[in-house]
């Protein structure tokens, strides 16, 4: 019953057979190219979107604010269109993670917005709560604390979701994909390259994670990507197609929806309005991604420069310091649930106990982040099963 879900969550981090909240895009969405090298068309459209969404209310607007281009542009445009509206920027900070709060605070002050910091707790100890909100075995939903804080100020939370997928933000992956690309590659070879660019979602001995009940087969995983890499789009646009129809549709958007519903707020991304998606996908490649210099979101950068919005150039986001969290909390918690042979993941014959034992040694000896990610995801499956299936664990329980 759960075999496909477990295989997919432990290999690509989402289940591509679930129902999506947005319609998938196709190769047709990349046709009939639009030139907007200055970003004026997009800027006008984004401002129109803000007017349509927020002009009929005077409610406080919370913004999930990092120091990157997406959220700072959201804040800058909101203030430009709504000069008198109360706005609150909320920044998440993890112990051991990259702290964007100082830069984010300066950005908030520049645009006359209040500023709040959310100190995010361990992803391990809060696992039952995270799983309960997501309703699936996902652990990287710690952004719920941003939504929880936003609820204190009103019912609106604005995020920059979708900007990376639509306007070319994953430059570190594009560079690697293009480096691995060779002439006349088959769709499967390009799929292998694409998955190599997401290699924190799986490990070299991936097949050994599972017991025979799961019947793990890489070809089943590859088949989900065939339609993205067996078409006439140029390779980098095939990556854009896969990015939009993958984690955005089946991971980020549904996670956000569940979080917003849990806290009773209206989560809005101005980048995910249909007209913005349509324009963004049809932009000429040079308006999104500079291959030679490996710079993305070209058109967004043009807008931020014109509006004098400063941001960091690196992609950071709200990210936990996983190894520190492992040392302080995760190692003991995972030993309790994953080195217990009576755990559900073993009783249900899903997970190979010997692989888990070896993964512990790899993480504790080498600090291998890929194996740590797999252990956290396996823990998420165990906790999800206890919360939703056997109901032996309360979602309020701290591990």
User: Would residue 86 count as lying in a domain?
Assistant: yes
User: Would residue 264 count as lying in a domain?
Assistant: yes
Q: Are 225 and 198 in contact (CB under 8 A)?
A: no
Query: Taking residues 39-66, what's their average pLDDT?
Result: 95
What 3-state class would DSSP assign to 260? helix
Report d(CA 112, CA 232) in Å as an integer.
Answer: 47
- Looking at the predicted structure, is the pLDDT value of residue 161 above 90? yes
Report d(CA 283, CA 270) in Å as an integer.
Answer: 17
Q: What is the pLDDT of residue 320?
A: 67
Q: What is the pLDDT of residue 388?
A: 96
Q: Are 141 and 147 in contact (CB under 8 A)?
A: no
Q: What is the CATH number of the domain that holds 154?
A: 3.40.50.620
- Looking at the predicted structure, is the pLDDT value of residue 8 above 60? yes
**What tokens were used for 333?**
């918690």
Query: pLDDT tens digit string along 337-346?
Result: 999 999 999 9
User: Would residue 312 count as lying in a domain?
Assistant: no
User: Would residue 138 count as lying in a domain?
Assistant: yes
Q: What is the pLDDT of residue 95?
A: 75
User: Would residue 245 count as lying in a domain?
Assistant: yes
User: Would residue 218 count as lying in a domain?
Assistant: no
Closest CA to 30 of 314, 307, 240: 240
Query: Taking residues 381-395, what's their average pLDDT?
Result: 96
- Give just the sign of the alpha carbon dihedral 324, 327, 331, 333: negative
User: Would residue 148 count as lying in a domain?
Assistant: yes
What are the b/e assignments for 333-343, b being 16+ CB within 10 Å? Answer: bbeebbeeeeb
Q: What's the chain's average pLDDT?
A: 94
Q: What is the pLDDT of residue 317?
A: 53
Q: What is the DSSP letter of 348?
A: T
Q: Which domain holds residue 75?
A: 20-169+238-306
DSSP 180-197: H--TT--HHHHHHHHHHT
Report d(CA 249, CA 243) in Å as an integer.
Answer: 9
User: Would residue 261 count as lying in a domain?
Assistant: yes
State the total domains in the chain. Answer: 1
Query: pLDDT tens digit string along 270-304?
Result: 999 999 999 999 999 999 999 999 999 999 999 99
- Looking at the predicted structure, is the pLDDT value of residue 85 above 70? yes
Report d(CA 292, CA 294) in Å as an integer.
Answer: 6
Query: Taking residues 81-86, what's their average pLDDT?
Result: 97
- Looking at the predicted structure, is the pLDDT value of residue 256 above 90? yes
Closest CA to 168 of 271, 237, 225: 237
Q: Are 276 and 270 in contact (CB under 8 A)?
A: yes
Q: How confident is the model at residue 315 (pLDDT cuts 50, 70, 90)?
A: low
């Amino acid at each position: 019953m759960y075999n496909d879900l477990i295989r997919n969550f432990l290999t690509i981090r989402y289940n591509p057979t679930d129902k999506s909240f947005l319609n998938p895009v196709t190769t047709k969405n990349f046709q009939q190219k639009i030139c907007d090298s200055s970003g004026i068309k997009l800027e006008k459209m984004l401002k129109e979107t803000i007017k349509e969404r927020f002009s009929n209310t005077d409610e406080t607007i919370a913004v999930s604010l990092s120091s990157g281009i997406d959220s700072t542009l959201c804040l800058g445009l909101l203030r430009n269109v709504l000069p008198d509206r109360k706005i609150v920027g909320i920044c998440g900070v993890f112990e051991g993670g990259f702290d964007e709060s100082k830069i984010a605070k300066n950005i908030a002050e520049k645009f006359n917005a209040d500023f709040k910091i959310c100190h995010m707790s361990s992803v391990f100890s809060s696992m039952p709560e995270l799983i309960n909100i997501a309703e699936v075995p996902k652990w990287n939903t710690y952004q719920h604390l941003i939504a929880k804080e936003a609820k204190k100020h009103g019912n609106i939370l604005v995020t920059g979701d979708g900007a990376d997928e639509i306007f070319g933000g994953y430059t570190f992956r594009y560079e690697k994909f293009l480096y691995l690309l060779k002439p006349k590659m088959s769709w499967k070879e390009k799929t292998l390259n694409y998955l190599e660019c997401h290699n924190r979602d799986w490990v070299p001995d991936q097949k050994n994670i599972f017991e025979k009940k799961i019947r793990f087969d890489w070809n089943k995983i590859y088949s989900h990507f065939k339609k993205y890499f067996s078409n006439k789009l140029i390779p980098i646009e095939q990556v854009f197609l896969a990015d939009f129809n993958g984690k955005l549709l089946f991971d980020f958007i549904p996670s956000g929806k569940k979080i917003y519903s849990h806290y009773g707020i209206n989560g809005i991304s101005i980048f995910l309005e249909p007209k913005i998606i349509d324009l963004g996908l049809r932009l000429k490649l040079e308006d999104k991604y500079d291959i030679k210099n490996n710079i993305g979101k070209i058109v967004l950068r043009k807008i931020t420069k014109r509006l004098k919005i400063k941001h960091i150039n690196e992609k950071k986001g709200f990210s936990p310091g996983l190894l520190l969290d492992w040392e302080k909390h995760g190692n003991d918690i995972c030993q309790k649930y994953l080195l217990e042979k009576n755990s559900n993941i073993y009783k249900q014959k899903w997970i190979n106990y010997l692989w888990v034992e070896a993964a512990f040694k790899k993480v504790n000896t080498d600090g291998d982040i890929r194996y740590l990610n797999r252990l956290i995801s396996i823990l998420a499956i165990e906790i999800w099963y206890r919360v939703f299936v056997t109901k032996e664990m309360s979602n309020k329980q701290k591990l």
